[in-house]
Structure 1
Amino acid sequence: MSEITSLEALEALYGQPSQRAKNKVMFELDEYAQTLINHSHFVLFTTNDEQGFTDISPRGGQPGFIKILDNKTLLMPDSSGNNRLDSFKNILANPKVGLLFMVNGIDEVVRLKGVASLHTDETLKSMCPDGNKAPKIVIKIQVESLYFHCAKAVMRAKLWNDTYRVDRKILPSLAQIMKAQQNNPDLVAATQEEMVEYYKSTL
Protein backbone atom coordinates (compact mmCIF):
# COMPACT_ATOMS: atom_id res chain seq x y z
CA MET A 1 0.00 0.00 0.00
CA SER A 2 1.48 3.33 -1.06
CA GLU A 3 1.60 6.09 1.56
CA ILE A 4 1.28 9.72 0.49
CA THR A 5 3.87 11.80 2.30
CA SER A 6 4.07 15.03 0.31
CA LEU A 7 1.76 17.86 -0.66
CA GLU A 8 2.76 17.41 -4.29
CA ALA A 9 1.66 13.77 -4.32
CA LEU A 10 -1.61 14.65 -2.62
CA GLU A 11 -2.48 17.45 -5.02
CA ALA A 12 -1.51 15.29 -8.01
CA LEU A 13 -4.10 12.75 -6.89
CA TYR A 14 -6.95 15.21 -6.30
CA GLY A 15 -6.20 18.26 -8.39
CA GLN A 16 -6.96 21.84 -7.39
CA PRO A 17 -10.12 23.10 -5.67
CA SER A 18 -12.45 25.40 -7.54
CA GLN A 19 -12.07 29.14 -7.16
CA ARG A 20 -15.37 29.23 -5.27
CA ALA A 21 -14.07 26.66 -2.77
CA LYS A 22 -10.82 28.59 -2.35
CA ASN A 23 -12.63 31.85 -1.69
CA LYS A 24 -15.27 30.64 0.77
CA VAL A 25 -13.23 31.20 3.94
CA MET A 26 -14.44 34.17 6.01
CA PHE A 27 -12.82 35.88 8.96
CA GLU A 28 -15.88 37.14 10.79
CA LEU A 29 -19.48 36.05 11.28
CA ASP A 30 -21.72 37.32 8.50
CA GLU A 31 -25.53 37.23 8.57
CA TYR A 32 -25.71 33.71 7.11
CA ALA A 33 -23.30 32.18 9.62
CA GLN A 34 -25.02 34.02 12.45
CA THR A 35 -28.41 32.67 11.37
CA LEU A 36 -27.17 29.08 11.39
CA ILE A 37 -25.36 29.49 14.73
CA ASN A 38 -28.45 31.07 16.29
CA HIS A 39 -30.44 27.97 15.31
CA SER A 40 -27.75 25.41 16.17
CA HIS A 41 -28.55 23.04 19.04
CA PHE A 42 -25.66 20.59 18.53
CA VAL A 43 -21.97 21.38 18.12
CA LEU A 44 -18.82 19.30 17.84
CA PHE A 45 -16.07 21.08 19.80
CA THR A 46 -12.41 20.24 19.19
CA THR A 47 -9.50 21.09 21.47
CA ASN A 48 -5.84 20.07 21.42
CA ASP A 49 -3.68 18.94 24.29
CA GLU A 50 -0.10 20.02 24.90
CA GLN A 51 1.16 17.03 22.88
CA GLY A 52 -0.91 18.16 19.91
CA PHE A 53 -3.50 15.37 20.05
CA THR A 54 -7.03 16.47 19.17
CA ASP A 55 -10.02 15.77 21.39
CA ILE A 56 -13.65 16.10 20.25
CA SER A 57 -16.50 16.85 22.61
CA PRO A 58 -20.22 17.01 21.73
CA ARG A 59 -22.02 20.08 23.03
CA GLY A 60 -25.77 20.54 23.00
CA GLY A 61 -28.54 22.80 24.20
CA GLN A 62 -31.51 24.79 23.07
CA PRO A 63 -31.15 26.41 19.63
CA GLY A 64 -28.71 29.28 19.96
CA PHE A 65 -27.18 28.04 23.23
CA ILE A 66 -23.85 29.36 21.93
CA LYS A 67 -24.22 33.13 22.01
CA ILE A 68 -22.88 35.61 19.48
CA LEU A 69 -21.29 38.52 21.35
CA ASP A 70 -20.21 40.25 18.13
CA ASN A 71 -19.08 39.25 14.65
CA LYS A 72 -15.72 38.05 16.00
CA THR A 73 -16.70 36.58 19.38
CA LEU A 74 -18.75 33.62 20.61
CA LEU A 75 -19.73 32.60 24.14
CA MET A 76 -20.26 28.93 24.98
CA PRO A 77 -21.62 27.93 28.40
CA ASP A 78 -20.25 25.04 30.40
CA SER A 79 -22.76 22.26 31.01
CA SER A 80 -22.79 19.74 33.83
CA GLY A 81 -20.57 16.75 33.12
CA ASN A 82 -18.28 14.23 34.79
CA ASN A 83 -15.67 16.76 35.98
CA ARG A 84 -12.87 15.30 33.85
CA LEU A 85 -12.56 18.82 32.38
CA ASP A 86 -10.71 17.52 29.33
CA SER A 87 -11.65 20.43 27.07
CA PHE A 88 -10.87 23.03 29.73
CA LYS A 89 -7.47 21.51 30.50
CA ASN A 90 -6.69 21.42 26.79
CA ILE A 91 -7.65 25.09 26.38
CA LEU A 92 -5.26 26.04 29.18
CA ALA A 93 -2.50 24.12 27.39
CA ASN A 94 -3.42 25.12 23.84
CA PRO A 95 -6.20 27.68 23.24
CA LYS A 96 -6.74 26.89 19.55
CA VAL A 97 -10.16 25.27 19.04
CA GLY A 98 -12.58 24.22 16.32
CA LEU A 99 -16.37 24.07 16.18
CA LEU A 100 -18.78 22.35 13.80
CA PHE A 101 -22.28 23.83 14.01
CA MET A 102 -25.23 21.65 13.01
CA VAL A 103 -28.97 22.33 12.68
CA ASN A 104 -31.60 19.62 12.37
CA GLY A 105 -33.14 20.02 8.91
CA ILE A 106 -30.19 21.83 7.31
CA ASP A 107 -27.61 19.65 5.59
CA GLU A 108 -24.94 22.34 5.36
CA VAL A 109 -22.79 22.99 8.44
CA VAL A 110 -20.49 25.79 9.59
CA ARG A 111 -16.86 24.98 10.38
CA LEU A 112 -15.11 27.50 12.60
CA LYS A 113 -11.60 27.94 14.01
CA GLY A 114 -10.86 30.18 16.94
CA VAL A 115 -8.90 30.93 20.08
CA ALA A 116 -10.61 30.10 23.37
CA SER A 117 -10.34 31.40 26.93
CA LEU A 118 -12.16 30.48 30.16
CA HIS A 119 -14.13 33.06 32.15
CA THR A 120 -16.14 33.27 35.37
CA ASP A 121 -17.29 36.86 34.86
CA GLU A 122 -20.87 37.17 36.14
CA THR A 123 -21.96 39.32 33.20
CA LEU A 124 -20.80 36.73 30.68
CA LYS A 125 -22.32 33.89 32.71
CA SER A 126 -25.70 35.64 32.82
CA MET A 127 -25.68 35.82 29.01
CA CYS A 128 -25.31 32.04 28.71
CA PRO A 129 -27.78 30.29 31.01
CA ASP A 130 -27.35 26.52 31.23
CA GLY A 131 -31.04 25.70 31.40
CA ASN A 132 -32.36 27.76 34.30
CA LYS A 133 -29.02 28.39 35.98
CA ALA A 134 -25.84 30.26 35.18
CA PRO A 135 -22.89 28.07 34.13
CA LYS A 136 -19.76 27.82 36.26
CA ILE A 137 -17.59 28.81 33.30
CA VAL A 138 -18.10 30.51 29.95
CA ILE A 139 -15.78 29.72 27.06
CA LYS A 140 -15.09 32.87 25.06
CA ILE A 141 -14.03 32.11 21.49
CA GLN A 142 -12.34 34.69 19.28
CA VAL A 143 -13.15 33.81 15.69
CA GLU A 144 -10.15 33.30 13.41
CA SER A 145 -11.86 31.84 10.34
CA LEU A 146 -14.99 29.99 9.27
CA TYR A 147 -16.85 28.70 6.26
CA PHE A 148 -19.94 26.80 5.21
CA HIS A 149 -19.33 23.12 4.44
CA CYS A 150 -21.47 21.57 1.70
CA ALA A 151 -24.33 19.16 2.36
CA LYS A 152 -22.84 15.96 0.92
CA ALA A 153 -21.66 14.31 4.16
CA VAL A 154 -24.95 14.88 5.99
CA MET A 155 -26.89 13.72 2.92
CA ARG A 156 -24.80 10.54 2.65
CA ALA A 157 -25.36 9.85 6.34
CA LYS A 158 -29.11 10.58 6.03
CA LEU A 159 -28.58 12.26 9.37
CA TRP A 160 -31.92 13.99 9.76
CA ASN A 161 -34.15 11.00 9.04
CA ASP A 162 -34.51 7.50 10.46
CA THR A 163 -32.96 5.53 7.58
CA TYR A 164 -29.99 4.34 9.65
CA ARG A 165 -31.61 4.56 13.08
CA VAL A 166 -30.74 1.54 15.26
CA ASP A 167 -32.32 0.04 18.34
CA ARG A 168 -30.55 1.28 21.49
CA LYS A 169 -30.49 -2.34 22.64
CA ILE A 170 -27.56 -3.20 20.33
CA LEU A 171 -25.40 -1.95 23.23
CA PRO A 172 -25.76 -2.32 26.99
CA SER A 173 -26.04 0.81 29.13
CA LEU A 174 -22.99 3.03 29.51
CA ALA A 175 -22.72 1.99 33.16
CA GLN A 176 -22.65 -1.66 32.12
CA ILE A 177 -20.06 -0.94 29.43
CA MET A 178 -17.80 0.91 31.88
CA LYS A 179 -18.13 -1.86 34.47
CA ALA A 180 -16.98 -4.41 31.88
CA GLN A 181 -14.22 -2.21 30.44
CA GLN A 182 -12.77 -1.42 33.86
CA ASN A 183 -13.27 -4.96 35.18
CA ASN A 184 -14.45 -3.45 38.44
CA PRO A 185 -17.04 -5.49 40.38
CA ASP A 186 -17.70 -2.52 42.69
CA LEU A 187 -19.14 -0.35 39.90
CA VAL A 188 -22.92 -0.21 39.77
CA ALA A 189 -24.20 -1.57 36.45
CA ALA A 190 -27.29 0.61 36.06
CA THR A 191 -29.74 -0.33 33.33
CA GLN A 192 -30.35 1.90 30.32
CA GLU A 193 -33.67 3.01 31.79
CA GLU A 194 -31.95 3.97 35.05
CA MET A 195 -29.23 5.80 33.12
CA VAL A 196 -31.81 7.82 31.18
CA GLU A 197 -33.47 8.91 34.42
CA TYR A 198 -30.06 9.85 35.83
CA TYR A 199 -29.23 11.88 32.72
CA LYS A 200 -32.55 13.73 32.96
CA SER A 201 -31.97 14.57 36.62
CA THR A 202 -28.52 16.04 35.94
CA LEU A 203 -29.05 17.97 32.69
Structure 2
Amino acid sequence: MSDAASHIVRSVEELDALYGQPLERALTKETDRLNEDYRAFVEAAPFIVLASVGPQGLDCSPKGDPAGFVRILDARTVAIPDRPGNNRLDNLRNIVADPRVSVLFLIPGNGESLRINGRAHVSADPALLAGFEIAGKLPRTAIVVSIDAVYFHCSKAIVRSKLWDPATRVPAGSLPSPGTILKHLSDGRIDGAAYDRDAPARIQATLY
Protein backbone atom coordinates (compact mmCIF):
# COMPACT_ATOMS: atom_id res chain seq x y z
CA MET A 1 0.00 0.00 0.00
CA SER A 2 1.39 3.40 -0.95
CA ASP A 3 2.07 6.10 1.60
CA ALA A 4 -0.67 8.69 1.00
CA ALA A 5 1.40 11.50 2.51
CA SER A 6 4.12 10.97 -0.06
CA HIS A 7 1.64 11.84 -2.81
CA ILE A 8 0.53 15.19 -1.37
CA VAL A 9 1.36 18.02 -3.76
CA ARG A 10 3.18 20.64 -1.73
CA SER A 11 4.50 23.21 -4.20
CA VAL A 12 3.58 25.17 -7.30
CA GLU A 13 6.48 23.48 -9.06
CA GLU A 14 4.94 20.06 -8.41
CA LEU A 15 1.60 21.30 -9.75
CA ASP A 16 3.27 22.59 -12.90
CA ALA A 17 4.98 19.25 -13.38
CA LEU A 18 1.63 17.46 -13.13
CA TYR A 19 -0.45 19.79 -15.26
CA GLY A 20 1.89 21.79 -17.47
CA GLN A 21 1.39 25.43 -18.38
CA PRO A 22 -2.01 26.99 -19.16
CA LEU A 23 -2.97 27.44 -22.79
CA GLU A 24 -2.77 30.92 -24.28
CA ARG A 25 -6.54 31.17 -24.57
CA ALA A 26 -6.92 30.44 -20.85
CA LEU A 27 -4.69 33.41 -20.06
CA THR A 28 -6.38 35.61 -22.67
CA LYS A 29 -9.75 35.14 -20.91
CA GLU A 30 -8.69 37.22 -17.91
CA THR A 31 -9.17 40.98 -17.85
CA ASP A 32 -9.09 43.61 -15.12
CA ARG A 33 -12.45 45.13 -16.07
CA LEU A 34 -15.84 44.32 -17.55
CA ASN A 35 -15.72 44.55 -21.32
CA GLU A 36 -18.88 44.44 -23.43
CA ASP A 37 -18.96 40.64 -23.52
CA TYR A 38 -18.48 40.21 -19.79
CA ARG A 39 -21.07 42.89 -19.04
CA ALA A 40 -23.60 40.73 -20.90
CA PHE A 41 -22.96 37.83 -18.50
CA VAL A 42 -23.41 40.02 -15.41
CA GLU A 43 -26.62 41.53 -16.76
CA ALA A 44 -28.10 38.10 -17.62
CA ALA A 45 -27.28 36.31 -14.36
CA PRO A 46 -30.08 35.76 -11.80
CA PHE A 47 -27.84 33.79 -9.45
CA ILE A 48 -24.37 34.20 -7.97
CA VAL A 49 -22.19 32.56 -5.36
CA LEU A 50 -20.13 34.98 -3.24
CA ALA A 51 -16.98 33.68 -1.55
CA SER A 52 -15.22 35.58 1.22
CA VAL A 53 -12.55 35.04 3.85
CA GLY A 54 -12.15 36.39 7.37
CA PRO A 55 -10.72 35.70 10.83
CA GLN A 56 -13.50 33.21 11.61
CA GLY A 57 -12.95 31.27 8.38
CA LEU A 58 -14.42 31.06 4.90
CA ASP A 59 -17.90 31.68 3.56
CA CYS A 60 -19.55 30.84 0.26
CA SER A 61 -23.10 32.16 0.01
CA PRO A 62 -25.72 31.97 -2.76
CA LYS A 63 -27.53 35.14 -3.80
CA GLY A 64 -30.32 35.51 -6.32
CA ASP A 65 -32.77 38.02 -7.73
CA PRO A 66 -34.18 38.86 -11.16
CA ALA A 67 -31.52 38.79 -13.88
CA GLY A 68 -29.28 41.83 -13.74
CA PHE A 69 -29.62 42.28 -9.98
CA VAL A 70 -25.85 42.75 -9.74
CA ARG A 71 -25.51 46.35 -10.80
CA ILE A 72 -22.59 47.49 -12.91
CA LEU A 73 -21.49 50.86 -11.51
CA ASP A 74 -18.60 51.16 -13.95
CA ALA A 75 -16.19 48.88 -15.80
CA ARG A 76 -14.25 48.19 -12.60
CA THR A 77 -17.06 48.14 -10.02
CA VAL A 78 -20.24 46.13 -9.34
CA ALA A 79 -22.74 46.27 -6.48
CA ILE A 80 -24.69 43.35 -5.01
CA PRO A 81 -27.82 43.90 -2.85
CA ASP A 82 -27.85 42.00 0.43
CA ARG A 83 -31.42 40.74 0.76
CA PRO A 84 -32.96 39.49 4.04
CA GLY A 85 -31.51 36.22 5.25
CA ASN A 86 -30.76 34.47 8.51
CA ASN A 87 -28.77 37.37 10.02
CA ARG A 88 -25.64 35.26 10.43
CA LEU A 89 -23.98 37.85 8.16
CA ASP A 90 -21.06 35.50 7.51
CA ASN A 91 -19.92 37.13 4.30
CA LEU A 92 -20.54 40.68 5.55
CA ARG A 93 -18.50 40.03 8.70
CA ASN A 94 -15.72 38.61 6.55
CA ILE A 95 -15.71 41.57 4.16
CA VAL A 96 -15.51 44.08 7.00
CA ALA A 97 -12.40 42.25 8.23
CA ASP A 98 -10.87 41.21 4.89
CA PRO A 99 -12.06 42.73 1.59
CA ARG A 100 -11.03 39.85 -0.69
CA VAL A 101 -13.98 38.23 -2.48
CA SER A 102 -14.74 36.04 -5.46
CA VAL A 103 -18.10 36.03 -7.25
CA LEU A 104 -19.34 33.28 -9.57
CA PHE A 105 -22.19 34.15 -11.97
CA LEU A 106 -24.48 31.38 -13.24
CA ILE A 107 -27.07 31.71 -16.01
CA PRO A 108 -29.70 28.94 -16.41
CA GLY A 109 -29.25 27.08 -19.67
CA ASN A 110 -25.83 28.59 -20.36
CA GLY A 111 -22.72 26.45 -20.19
CA GLU A 112 -20.22 29.19 -19.45
CA SER A 113 -19.95 30.88 -16.07
CA LEU A 114 -18.25 34.14 -15.13
CA ARG A 115 -15.95 34.82 -12.18
CA ILE A 116 -15.04 38.18 -10.68
CA ASN A 117 -12.22 38.43 -8.15
CA GLY A 118 -11.83 41.67 -6.29
CA ARG A 119 -12.00 43.63 -3.07
CA ALA A 120 -15.29 44.59 -1.48
CA HIS A 121 -16.79 46.90 1.07
CA VAL A 122 -20.25 46.98 2.65
CA SER A 123 -22.25 50.15 1.90
CA ALA A 124 -25.40 51.53 3.53
CA ASP A 125 -25.53 54.52 1.14
CA PRO A 126 -29.24 55.40 0.68
CA ALA A 127 -28.67 56.60 -2.89
CA LEU A 128 -27.10 53.27 -3.83
CA LEU A 129 -29.70 51.16 -2.02
CA ALA A 130 -32.60 53.04 -3.64
CA GLY A 131 -31.72 51.44 -6.96
CA PHE A 132 -32.29 47.96 -5.54
CA GLU A 133 -35.91 48.50 -4.44
CA ILE A 134 -38.25 45.58 -5.02
CA ALA A 135 -41.88 45.50 -3.87
CA GLY A 136 -41.30 48.77 -2.02
CA LYS A 137 -38.49 47.30 0.06
CA LEU A 138 -34.77 48.07 0.12
CA PRO A 139 -31.81 45.95 1.17
CA ARG A 140 -30.13 47.10 4.36
CA THR A 141 -26.75 47.13 2.65
CA ALA A 142 -25.04 46.44 -0.64
CA ILE A 143 -21.71 44.77 -1.28
CA VAL A 144 -19.59 46.93 -3.59
CA VAL A 145 -16.87 45.00 -5.39
CA SER A 146 -13.84 46.68 -6.95
CA ILE A 147 -12.71 44.35 -9.71
CA ASP A 148 -9.20 42.92 -9.83
CA ALA A 149 -9.85 40.21 -12.41
CA VAL A 150 -12.69 38.90 -14.58
CA TYR A 151 -12.58 35.47 -16.17
CA PHE A 152 -15.05 33.15 -17.88
CA HIS A 153 -15.08 29.42 -17.25
CA CYS A 154 -15.70 27.14 -20.20
CA SER A 155 -18.70 24.81 -20.18
CA LYS A 156 -16.94 21.56 -19.22
CA ALA A 157 -18.11 21.54 -15.59
CA ILE A 158 -21.72 22.25 -16.62
CA VAL A 159 -21.56 19.60 -19.35
CA ARG A 160 -20.09 16.99 -17.01
CA SER A 161 -22.61 17.72 -14.25
CA LYS A 162 -25.60 18.04 -16.64
CA LEU A 163 -26.64 20.89 -14.38
CA TRP A 164 -29.29 22.30 -16.69
CA ASP A 165 -30.57 18.91 -17.96
CA PRO A 166 -34.14 18.37 -16.64
CA ALA A 167 -33.51 14.61 -16.64
CA THR A 168 -30.97 15.00 -13.83
CA ARG A 169 -33.26 16.89 -11.46
CA VAL A 170 -33.54 15.30 -8.04
CA PRO A 171 -37.13 14.18 -7.33
CA ALA A 172 -39.02 16.29 -4.80
CA GLY A 173 -38.92 14.76 -1.36
CA SER A 174 -35.88 12.58 -2.03
CA LEU A 175 -33.61 14.69 0.19
CA PRO A 176 -34.06 15.56 3.88
CA SER A 177 -36.25 18.64 4.24
CA PRO A 178 -34.99 21.77 6.02
CA GLY A 179 -37.27 20.94 8.95
CA THR A 180 -35.92 17.41 9.16
CA ILE A 181 -32.35 18.69 9.18
CA LEU A 182 -33.11 21.24 11.90
CA LYS A 183 -34.92 18.66 13.99
CA HIS A 184 -31.94 16.32 13.85
CA LEU A 185 -29.36 19.04 14.52
CA SER A 186 -31.37 20.38 17.48
CA ASP A 187 -31.98 16.92 18.95
CA GLY A 188 -35.69 17.47 18.49
CA ARG A 189 -35.93 20.91 20.10
CA ILE A 190 -37.07 22.40 16.79
CA ASP A 191 -40.39 21.15 15.47
CA GLY A 192 -39.32 20.10 11.99
CA ALA A 193 -42.81 19.37 10.69
CA ALA A 194 -44.02 22.82 11.75
CA TYR A 195 -40.96 24.45 10.20
CA ASP A 196 -41.61 22.77 6.85
CA ARG A 197 -45.33 23.47 6.99
CA ASP A 198 -44.83 27.19 7.61
CA ALA A 199 -41.90 27.58 5.19
CA PRO A 200 -43.77 28.70 2.02
CA ALA A 201 -45.62 31.51 3.82
CA ARG A 202 -42.53 32.48 5.81
CA ILE A 203 -40.37 32.71 2.71
CA GLN A 204 -42.90 34.85 0.85
CA ALA A 205 -43.31 37.17 3.84
CA THR A 206 -39.56 37.68 4.27
CA LEU A 207 -38.36 37.47 0.65
CA TYR A 208 -37.61 41.19 0.51
Q: TM-score, normalised by structure 2?
A: 0.91
| CA deviation profile, 1:139-167 (whole Å, cap 9, x unmatched) | 11111111111010011111112122112
User: Gaps spanning 5+ residues in structure 1: where?
Assistant: none
Q: 1:143 to 1:131 in 2, by over 3 A?
A: farther
Give the corresponding residue for 1:92. Answer: 96
Q: Distance in 2 between matches of 1:183 and 1:131?
A: 38
Instruction: Give the AA of the match of 1:103.
Output: I
Instruction: Give the AA of the match of 2:169.
Output: R
Tell me if structure 2 keeps the 8 A contact 1:42–1:58: yes
* 1:33 partnered with 2:38: yes
Counterparts of residues 1-203 of structure 1 (less than 5 Å):
1=4, 2-50=7-55, 53-185=57-189, 187-189=190-192, 190=194, 192-203=196-207
User: Gaps spanning 5+ residues in structure 2: where?
Assistant: none
The alignment yields a C-alpha RMSD, in angstroms, of 1.5
Instruction: Give the AA of the match of 1:188.
Output: D
Q: Distance in 1 between matches of 2:30 and 2:58?
A: 22
Q: Distance in 1 between matches of 2:170 and 2:195?
A: 18
Tell me if structure 2 keeps the 8 A contact 1:77–1:130: no
Identity %: 35
Q: TM-score, normalised by structure 1?
A: 0.93
Aligned residues: 201
